[in-house]
Amino acid sequence: MTELIDLVLLAMLALTALKIIFLKDLFAVVMLFGIYSFLSALIFINLDAVDVAFTEASVGAGISSVLMLGTLALTGRTEKENKRSSLLPLLVVTVTGAALIYGTLDMPPFGAANNPVHEHVAPRYIEESPKEVGLPNMVTSVLASYRGFDTLGETVVVFAAAIGVLALLGVRREKTDNVRQSGFTDHYVLRIIAKLVIPLIILFALYVQFHGDFGPGGGFQAGVIAAAAFILYALVYGLPSAFRVVGPKFLQGLASFGVLLYASVGLYSMFKGGQFLDYNKLAVDPLAGQHYGIIIIELGVGITVFAVMLSIYYAFASQTERGNT
Amino acid sequence: MFILDIVSSALLIAGVFFGLTGAVGLFKFPDFFTRIHAASVTDSVAAILIIGGLLLQTSFDLNTAKLLFILAFLLITSPTASHALAKSARHGGLLCLAETTNKPTDERPHD
């Protein structure tokens, strides 16, 4: 049964990808990208990788659709006609695809018990992490404790992305009092519902943030969901109102604060006589130390992701509004 | 338990039926506003029926509460999404089929 569901989902994924290639209307392409992400999230759920599915749904289908639409508002909605022959690219793609398929022939059979992935570090994590870290959600244990250094790197990458976007676009903050022109002023239903829904979204983001130790979720997803709430506010009530709630300057500080919070946990554990990011030293009881460490670094990740996503949106949206006025 | 299972599967099947009719309507209806009407049926009625069917499968624990939250959230957001779409289309100057056919000078929108 799961194979059947997998096959159907993969076929839909392939169809969506093909349609994305042939469509010229970029708005439709963005929507199809959202569908593509949702389909992959469903495949991840089918593979029991709930955390990854959660990330894919919130980042791939949620935030990136909004960011891509923001880009389209700057660039225009149709793809430029390409006059050049597509024979050479087709050849390159065919050869690469054939090489990749040839490579899969050497792969071990799908789902076999003695595959290398099941015999390397995974058994150790499954057997030892309840004793060493003691969290019900093993994904969080691996992500935040065993691979804490990798996750620090990922957070820095997210931070670097924000620096890149802000260096290219920058948030213009002009003293225009066009609060009334911005946002959907005549969509009364939308405004009321947004007011109703935004607190719920933020509450859910906090739940995902602090429940990540026990269920699917964590800093990445929570940051994105919280950013989505503020983006909804900015969309409906206009960018100037959103700037008054969380300013771009404050967000820049917040983004670096998250990374610093994460790294300072590592430094603190070094002061306590352990290695970098050795949570065992954070408290007298190693297990409690692990829990403290994971909660704090997840908070750092969440803060950085939230601030980065929102400031990237601000950068796009403020450019668009400048073009309109 | 047996009766609950029957009611639950009836609700699920009805939900799937309304989801399918929504999809068929989305393809078959002539203009944007009738299509969005069909799509919003999927959003609202099908979602209520399917979540209702799933509710009966739980044993009134945390999962029930979570499903109820999802239901409430869907009931608030999906009609709003349909409304915002239709209103934006109207605001952007899209006419419904009757209006376009009464005005011979206007071209009918492409499918």
Domain locations along chain A: 1-84, 137-325
User: Which two structure tokens, joined as six digits, stand for A309?
Assistant: 């996503």
CB pair distance less than 8 Å for B76 and A187? no
Q: Is the CB of B63 inside 8 Å of chain A's CB atoms?
A: no
**Res B58 pLDDT > 60:** yes
Q: How far apart are CA A104 and CA A110, in angstroms?
A: 11
Predicted local confidence at residue B106, as pLDDT: 47
Q: How far apart are CA A23 and CA A35, in angstroms?
A: 15
Q: Nearest-CA distance from B63 to chain A in Å?
A: 13
The pTM (predicted TM-score) of the whole model is: 0.86
Note whether B73 contacts A200, CB cutoff 8 Å: yes
Q: Is A197 on the interface with B (CB under 8 A)?
A: yes
pLDDT reading at A174 higher than 70: no
Does residue A45 surpass a pLDDT of 90?
A: yes
Handedness of CA A70, A71, A76, A79 (dihedral sign): negative
Asked if A277 contacts A148 with a C-beta cutoff of 8 angstroms, the reply is yes
In tens, the pLDDT along A213-237 reads 888 888 899 999 999 999 999 989 8
Domain A1-84 has CATH 1.20.120.1200: yes
Q: Chain B: give the shortest CA distance to residue A192, in Å.
A: 10
Are the CB atoms for A165 and A315 separated by under 8 Å? yes
Backbone angles phi, psi at A13, to 5 degrees: -60, -45
What is the Cα–Cα distance from B37 to B91, expressed in whole angstroms?
17
Closest CA of chain A from B77, distance in Å: 8
The amino acid at B13: I
CB pairs under 8 A, 24+ apart, for A64-72?
Answer: A64/A33, A64/A37, A65/A30, A65/A31, A65/A33, A65/A34, A66/A228, A66/A231, A66/A313, A67/A312, A67/A313, A67/A316, A68/A30, A68/A33, A69/A27, A69/A30, A70/A313, A70/A316, A70/A317, A70/A320, A71/A316, A72/A26, A72/A27, A72/A30
Distance from C-alpha of A27 to C-alpha of A79, rounded to nearest angstrom? 10
Domain boundaries, given as residue ranges, for chain B: 2-102
Q: Has residue B109 got a pLDDT over 70?
A: no
Output the pLDDT for position A182: 65
B77 touches chain A (CB under 8 A): yes
Going through chain B in order, the beta strands assigned E by DSSP cover: none
Strand partners, A25: A78
- Rounded CA-CA distance A299/A302 in Å is 5
Place of tokens 């955390």: A51
Interval A95-109 mean pLDDT: 91
pLDDT, tens digit (0-9, with 9 covering 90-100), for A118-128: 888 888 888 88
Nearest to B83 among A186, A189, A200 (CB): A189
The residue that leads in pLDDT, B107 or A194, is A194
Three-state DSSP class for A25?
strand
Say if residue B110's pLDDT is above 60.
no
